[in-house]
Amino acid sequence: MKRITVKEVEQKLDNGEKLNIIDVREVGEVATGKIPLAINIPLGLIEFKKQDLDKNENYIIVCRSGGRSAQAVAFLESYGYNVTNMDGGMMAWEGELEF
């Protein structure tokens, strides 16, 4: 499983890199703030939404602490998606939030 730190994600965003970030938390959790431009696909819906993702793109998967995102990464990897788990999740995020 590929992994990336919160600081690495923040640095990439600060450098203006276009990132595909998927937040797999529940809608109520995302309402408390998410990484700007991240799209919300709750973990329970990943199976049904995977066909909307491009296998040629890289996706950074985020949750509250890194556990659910690791599950999503393992699942998506098994279908050939290029995905990376953000270690520490939103509990470790110190960057800008979008509400």
Task: Name the residues annotated as catalytic.
Answer: 63
- Segments in the chain forming alpha helices (H): 6-14, 27-30, 46-49, 67-78, 89-92
Secondary structure letter of residue 95 according to DSSP: S
Q: Name every residue whose Cβ is closer than 8 Å to that of residue 68 and which is 6 or more positions away in sequence.
A: 24, 25, 43
